[in-house]
Amino acid sequence: MKFALRVCVFLLMARASVCADITVTAAEGGEAVINCPYGEGYETSYKYFYKGPYRESTLMLKSDGGQSPVFSGRFTLKDDHKARLFTVTIRDLQMSDAGEYTCTAGWGDSRSVKLNVIRAPKKPKPVQISTSTIHPNTNSRTDHNSTVTQNESVTMATRTGNTTAEPNEATTSSKQTNYTTHNALVFTSPQQIRKIF
């Protein structure tokens, strides 16, 4: 009888913890939206959002049970009494935000939350290319400056420069022409990107 009682208590505890868990995954730099449901009767109770497991946590947000949003730095808590749900939004996610949180309504209705933060890909730095071409037959020179920026699906190329014609026997002044060209290439995968110029 003692063994059966232990198994029953263990199963009840395991079932309650699995049902209460909330998992949210969001990208670094973005925002995480965490929906914390609560039971009937807790609509006007204080709502709490803690970082860390239930007994070892730090209070991040606390509402007075009203439906007005509560703000604290990058964190916002908004309560919806009809849906019996309060929503916590974390803006400008950082890798250090990942981990365990606890949502609590009143003194008895708690949910454990697991927040996963995916590292954002690093933005590529633009590549600058400068070239000069001397045209001996026309006594002119062309200078080019090119900048190439690439992300997962779009490559943008901008070329700026000028052409200068040096004076010769027929002319007494130099002539300069400025130009800018833009190329945008759209690809479905980075492997398709080839030579820009």
Structure confidence by residue, pLDDT tens digits, 13-62:
433 333 437 999 999 999 999 999 999 999 999 999 999 876 788 999 99
Per-residue confidence band for 124, with pLDDT thresholds at 50, 70 and 90? confident
Q: Are residues 85 and 137 in the same domain?
A: no
- Record the tokens describing residue 50, joined without a space: 């803690």
Q: How far apart are CA 101 and CA 123, in angstroms?
A: 30
CB of 169 closer than 8 Å to CB of 153: no
- Tell me what pLDDT residue 181 has: 55
Q: Which domain does 140 fall in, by range?
A: 127-192
30 lies in the same domain as 93:
yes
Domain membership of residue 36 (yes or no) is yes
Ordered strands of the 140-150 beta sheet: 127-135, 140-150, 154-165, 175-186
CATH number of the CATH domain containing 92: 2.60.40.10
5 in any annotated domain: no
If asked whether residues 87 and 49 sit together in one domain, one would say yes
Q: State the pTM of this model.
A: 0.55
User: In total, how many domains does the chain have?
Assistant: 2
Q: What is the pLDDT of residues 136-178, one digit of tens each?
A: 666 566 666 666 565 554 555 555 666 555 555 544 555 555 5
For residue 65, give both structure tokens.
Answer: 């049970």
- The count of other CB atoms within 10 Å of the CB of residue 36 is 24
Based on the fold, state whether residues 100 and 135 are members of the same structural domain: no
Residues 169 and 79 in one domain: no
**What is the amino acid identity at position 40?**
E
Claim to verify: residue 108 and residue 145 sit in the same structural domain: no
Q: Nearest Cα to 93, choosing from 58, 62, 119?
A: 119
**32 & 104 share domain:** yes
Domain assignment present for residue 11? The answer is no
